[in-house]
Amino acid sequence: MKALRLAACLTVFGAAAAQAAPPESLADMPSSEPLFAATLSDLDDKAAPLSAWKGKPIVVNFWARWCGPCREEIPGLIQERAKHKGRVEVLGIGIEDKPEAVREFAKAYEMNYPVLLAKDKGIALMQALGNPKAGLPFTFAVDRHGRIVYKKLGGMKKPDIEAAFEAVLK
């Protein structure tokens, strides 16, 4: 009986693994130029040019306060950033337009990394960075050479977050 259950689990796992999409190659990744050309707003509603992060390894996470999967992955991003302190920065981009609400959210979630507001630029920026439907959460990693080396649409679990940081440090 145990062998039958094990075989059934392996069959289901094998079928799921076979259906999983292969990771994108670097050649398939979009350009990071739209990111570094953009100017968003900081939590004090002042202009924040993203060119300030050019040449630095970063993990960029688009999120919204109302997005459940976004809320779930933020603690993992905080934890992984602490593990790689000084080597990789996390940049949170809220798809919001109210600085005070995002400021309160960032404080409540103890977001210890830069948080910016996309306001009316968020949808177009996500689309330009390889997220055509502008779904959330959307995370990608940019290495010090300006190449997008990791991209994920949807909630990230610990292995996904670790993979983003590993990719940016290669």
pLDDT at 33 over 80: yes
Q: Which domain holds residue 109?
A: 27-169
Which pLDDT belongs to residue 86? Answer: 94
Helix (H, G, I), strand (E, B) or coil at 53: helix
Task: Give residue-wise pLDDT tens across range 37-61.
Answer: 999 999 999 999 999 999 999 999 9
Residue 76 Cα distances to 69, 109, 111, angstroms: 12, 11, 11
- Residue 35: inside a domain, yes or no? yes
pLDDT, the chain, mean:
87
Domain at 95, CATH number: 3.40.30.10
Residue that wins the pLDDT comparison between 13 and 109: 109
pLDDT at 64 over 70: yes
